[in-house]
Structure 1
Amino acid sequence: MTRYVRKVSLTGHNILNNHIETTIDQVRASHPEAIESVVHFREEPTLIVAATYLLDVCNLLRFDSSLDYSLLVDIAAVDHYPNEPRFSLSYILHALEKNARIRLQVKLPGKSPEVSSVTECWKSAEWPEREAFDMMGINFVGHPDLRRILMPADWDGHPLRKDYPLGYEEVQFSFNWEEIDSKKDYAKE
């Protein structure tokens, strides 16, 4: 029986680590108070950035030719209710030339969460920011078209917040279908 072994080159891995370390060093050098901490998970670093410095850090990562994080992969919002800071926003960035990925995370308070929009760095941020606004109620200052994207314009509240009231409809089973059926709108006519 022939056994195939895949040889892995570590040179690309070292280049990737060097680029990420260079990225972190350049952010620290240009904005010393911007990075609150750096967390590594599965060889992907997360820079915890102070909300007031987010746009400055994004401008550096996007427009510095030695870094060139030209692709915003996604923006994700998380509600940590009842803990404070309540919200966290994660920005996943990719440097295409270096094949390097980095994550920025910003923590926001529960009362009036707001952060600068990064649409001036990446046009692709428009819709994920609108989604985070619509579902979580996070305000993106400087966004060119911040309005609801999934819910109707007159909707009250933000449905992905953990304190949003849950609505439900009882499930019909063979033992309770008559009781539930009698509560339906069509049964009242």
Structure 2
Amino acid sequence: MEALDKLKERFPQAVLGEETSCGQAMVYVDRNYLLEVMKFLHDELGFDHLADLGGVDYLGWKGKGKKPERFEVVYNLYSIGKREFLRVKVPVPEKDPWVPSVTKIWQVANWFERECYDMFGIRFKGHPDLRRILMPEDWKGYPLRKDYALQPEEEWPEYDKVRAKARELCRYEWGDRKVREG
């Protein structure tokens, strides 16, 4: 892939490795160079669409090859003009889980990064509003981490309030159906 060659030529210190999976090129990038690499991919190589961003937890990984870090942030980029995908993977250490935010390059990253933070606890330095997006603000832990307790020892303290509010709202009509009598 031409983009990978240009990337390795421009940022040899940033590229940790590369591979192909199901016909899609993947490149591993050092988090300390991520912003420079992503700006280059966007501005100079035409990867103008961030299709997706997500986290991976490799705790207990038994697949092919040893993973250098517990976590990864995975960016799926697409060049609309070239009709080409590129997957960028960034290893993230468990003891210091952060990567730079790419929201200044792709605005859509705002929600993706918040979701990754909420589910995995990976911080995105420079994010304009990094807070939970799926779980309540006072939720403890990160539900997609492999060591997250499936059965909490105690119920979420705000659960009774949410359940009462749901009962209150259920008497209203939503669309063309009546949900329930109050």
Q: TM-score range by the shorter chain?
A: 0.7 to 0.9
**Which residue matches 2:22?**
42
Kindly indicate which of the two structures has a greater share of residues assigned to helix.
Answer: 1
Cα deviation for residue 123 of structure 1 reads 0.3
Give the secondary-structure state (helix, strand or coil) at the position aligned to 2:52: strand
Structure 1 runs (4+) greater than 3 angstroms displaced? none
Deviation of 1:112 after TM superposition, in Å, equals: 2.3
- Report the alpha carbon displacement of residue 103 of structure 1 after superposing the two structures with TM: 0.3
Of the three residues 36, 47, 53, the one matched with 1:69 is 47
- Residue 80 of structure 1 corresponds to which residue in structure 2? 58
Alignment partners' CA distance in 2, 1:150 and 1:43:
33
Identify the residue that residue 33 of structure 2 maps to in structure 1.
Answer: 53
Q: Aligned partners of 1:77 and 1:123: how far apart in 2?
A: 18
Q: What residue number does 1:177 align with?
A: none
Distance in 1 (alpha carbons) for counterparts of 2:123 and 2:60: 19
TM-score by length of 1: 0.74
Residues 1-189 of structure 1 aligned to structure 2 (within 5 Å): 21-64=1-44, 67-82=45-60, 85-167=69-151
**Any gaps of 5 or more consecutive residues in structure 2?**
62-67, 153-182
Q: Distance in 1 between matches of 2:133 and 2:11?
A: 34
Q: Distance in 1 between matches of 2:49 and 2:11?
A: 22
Instruction: Render the CA deviation track for 1:36-78: whole Å, top value 9, x for unaligned.
Output: 11111121110011111111110001111xx210000000211
Per-residue CA deviation, residues 5-32 of structure 1 (Å, 9 max, x unaligned), is xxxxxxxxxxxxxxxx221121112211
After the TM superposition, which of the residue ranges 125-134 and 157-166 deviates more from structure 2?
157-166
**Secondary structure at 2:145's aligned position in 1?**
coil
Q: Distance in 1 between matches of 2:122 and 2:47?
A: 24
Unaligned runs of 5+ in 1: 1-20, 169-189
SS in 1 for 2:108: helix
Shift of 1:114: 0.4
Distance 2:2 2:119 in 1: 35
Q: Percent identity?
A: 41
Which TM-score applies when normalising by structure 2?
Answer: 0.77
Distance 1:22 1:82 in 2: 35
The size of the alignment, in residue pairs, is 146
In the aligned structure 2, how far is the partner of 1:42 from the partner of 1:136? 26
1:82 shift after superposition: 4.0
- The whole-number CA distance in structure 2 between the counterparts of 1:39 and 1:78 is 17
Structure 2 letter corresponding to 1:54: L
Higher Rg: 1
1:108-156 per-residue CA deviation (whole Å, 9 max, x = no partner) reads 1111200000111100100010000001000000000100000111111
